[in-house]
Structure 1
């Protein structure tokens, strides 16, 4: 039997992090839960690792991310003495970059996504990755001359890609991220990637194609987010940002920085989100219409709310400013923003999240209801349903369980045909709230509990 060598690298990293073995184990378990893994490691588990035992892939990824967060810099498997040959065809850090060729990176990332490589599908949100755009040198990095294969492309190809992005986005918003996900990834990594490398009659046309590709990459990341694959979503967002840098489009760069900030907040990782929101607003200001700018202002407001109670007053003031800007008329809203719904609806939705964060559940209910009404009757069926679910939660937080049950019943009705992990998560949240009321004898809660049970039993993570 081969002897195992002590893992001195891991011991050094744990020491540098200032953790005991037990604290490290608990941090690994926390990251594992974000990845959808039920890890139950303890001090003795870490002792075995230090003696040379190599944990399974998911645990290694969780250990890397836990140490990265603690140390404020990227930590790879070699740094912790757990380098693997199992994924040697691709780096486990694939996509966590904003300086490599984004088209080439997307080809590799898309192939690994289609193949459902575990190092991607179970990847945790990376706090080190969140900081990458903030460290990128300049808003228009020096472009490299890359070989462009294929024939001549022009405005017709740009328009075709834009129309496809709009169509795919409309399907996603109405039916959920699991509909057509593989098809969108294939379209991005094959046809659109080839067009990005094509020869164009003019350089502005090539930049427009790169910008259209960035919108499609954003959508692919959004689909991963809607499937609960947070680390993979982040990698696509980073590549979308890289494409906007290649396109030399500061306003579009700002839009991707904005989603990176929201993504951090949605993962309860406040590190870097205010920096991302500030940078997004700085790049957008003076380059977009007022309605579009309101999206950046409300993002900053939400980041302020996530920064601690001492910033809540500033957050509320910024939210009010965003609502005023969103109501501006006569603006021509940017195409990459327009596909995702009216600015006023988005601002209402994020204002509700801010109100919940500061503890004003009545205001949260009011703004979720406004968002729901604005989205109702549009193609944005998923966010309308999620807004209704959150409206009911705000009512439950105020003790209005009968009203919450009525709102949730309507939400369930609107969820038919939507294939989304976020929708499933929302229904699970409803059921948790309902169970407490059912015990207290609420008839409405009993009826709704049965409906949510049947819904969850029918939902699955079947073929994409």
Structure 2
């Protein structure tokens, strides 16, 4: 049977200046970014142009590749792709955030649609922010036109804030995946109805609380390996923060987006710009929030300007010394986390001895409530020790990591397990390394 050529896809491919062979090569590279090995070639792309429908995950990879080339999100309809593997969520920042959150949490709680979440990969094109986010002051109507919640509404806001602390603590103890559905349910059944209710509608405190809960759900999605879904939640959280005139939560959200991109190996100018915007929006926030954003800016600047990175790190440490906010994920910045960022920055600057010392201090300062962070810090310390030839010290940290690994359900931890297996392969004749490789193999597949 003859097929109708996909003219829309052909025009897009021509617009970005790629031949079928070049597009196939870029798709293979993109697939590798997401841990996949796919055998796209010129003939594969040509079949799609001739009208054959790409099979998952090809549609998502095609859209991301074209989006990166175009510098903006490309929709499935624009590319002539009638079947895509993800839940239909508007990728634009400008999409109504409450409606978008309802769509996503509904899919999280529906077994028939849940499997469709997270099948799209991370999108660099989605990092581009609209003017209402990038302006130096968060725009909005005059304060008199932004009523706060009524008495009953404030009670609902108080519940939302209390649940933020509980969900954050649970994710730190168990990882994001086991807690994600519970938070999605709370948002769907409690937070979203609250935002629609007259008691909370347009309330700044309700919107801020919703922004923080949504940001936590984004973190849990990222920790579950659902990176594109996490990006959707981050966008929603940022929009809620803008509508709430909450520059501190907006700064934290933008910083989190930059951190997420960096953890996936992206440190482009767009990611650096996110960090810069986070610092800008944090300028009037408490010192803890300012320190939090400056520390991540230092990490990204380390790829471009070592002196600027060290200056930002020094500012972060100075601000942290002045911080005295109450405990909480949006009010405090633990010294252990700041030391971890110092370790990351120094590692990028090739000061691995300094990075080891910073990570050791971070690990020493981790509290029992920072279980997940401590496990990930051990893995990073092991990798840094090995990079400077400290095999025995690395093996000690890897052993502690493997002992704690089964207590977490975290994609970040799984990535470190994958790194362990790759890094210790050359040392498999070493008795302890061989034992650790065997233990790691029981916990997860070989890389």
TM score, norm. by length of structure 2: 0.90
The reply on whether 1:328 has 2:322 as its aligned counterpart is: yes
> Residue 395 and residue 413 in structure 1: after superposition, are their counterparts in 2 closer, same or farther (change >3 A)?
same
Query: Following the alignment from structure 1 to structure 2, what is the Cα–Cα distance between the partners of residues 412 and 106?
Result: 36
> Residue 455 and residue 444 in structure 1: after superposition, are their counterparts in 2 closer, same or farther (change >3 A)?
same
In structure 2, the residue matched to 1:49 is 48
Note if contact 2:168-2:216 (Cα within 8 Å) is conserved in structure 1.
Answer: yes
Query: Following the alignment from structure 1 to structure 2, what is the Cα–Cα distance between the partners of residues 137 and 415?
Result: 39
Note if contact 1:372-1:387 (Cα within 8 Å) is conserved in structure 2.
Answer: yes
Query: Following the alignment from structure 2 to structure 1, what is the Cα–Cα distance between the partners of residues 119 and 322?
Result: 42
Aligned residue for 1:132, secondary structure, equals coil
The reply on whether 1:403 has 2:396 as its aligned counterpart is: no
In structure 1, the residue matched to 2:11 is 12
Q: Which runs of 5+ in 1 are unaligned?
A: 144-150, 460-464
Deviations 1:269-310 (A, max 9, x none): 32412222112111111232x23211111121122124x3xx
In structure 1, the residue matched to 2:72 is 73
How far residue 85 of structure 1 moved from its aligned partner, in angstroms, is 8.3
Query: Following the alignment from structure 1 to structure 2, what is the Cα–Cα distance between the partners of residues 189 and 418?
Result: 25
Deviations 1:293-346 (A, max 9, x none): 11111121122124x3xx1221122112212322335x22584424xx743222
How far residue 135 of structure 1 moved from its aligned partner, in angstroms, is 5.7
In structure 2, the residue matched to 1:103 is 98
Query: Following the alignment from structure 1 to structure 2, what is the Cα–Cα distance between the partners of residues 201 and 318?
Result: 39
Q: How does 1:50-449 map to 2 (within 5 A)?
A: 50-84=49-83, 91=88, 94-115=89-110, 116-117=113-114, 120-133=117-130, 136=133, 139-141=138-140, 153-200=152-199, 206-269=203-266, 270-288=268-286, 290-306=287-303, 308=304, 311-328=305-322, 331-333=324-326, 335-338=328-331, 342-375=333-366, 377-438=367-428, 441-449=429-437
Query: Following the alignment from structure 2 to structure 1, what is the Cα–Cα distance between the partners of residues 134 and 405?
Result: 44
Aligned residue for 1:379, secondary structure, equals helix
How far residue 202 of structure 1 moved from its aligned partner, in angstroms, is 9.7
Moved more, 51-60 or 72-81: 72-81
Aligned residue for 1:337, secondary structure, equals coil
Query: Following the alignment from structure 1 to structure 2, what is the Cα–Cα distance between the partners of residues 49 and 100?
Result: 30
Query: Following the alignment from structure 2 to structure 1, what is the Cα–Cα distance between the partners of residues 18 and 183?
Result: 43
Aligned residues: 434
> Residue 253 and residue 18 in structure 1: after superposition, are their counterparts in 2 closer, same or farther (change >3 A)?
same
Query: Following the alignment from structure 1 to structure 2, what is the Cα–Cα distance between the partners of residues 418 and 386?
Result: 10
Note if contact 2:252-2:289 (Cα within 8 Å) is conserved in structure 1.
Answer: no
Moved more, 320-329 or 77-86: 77-86
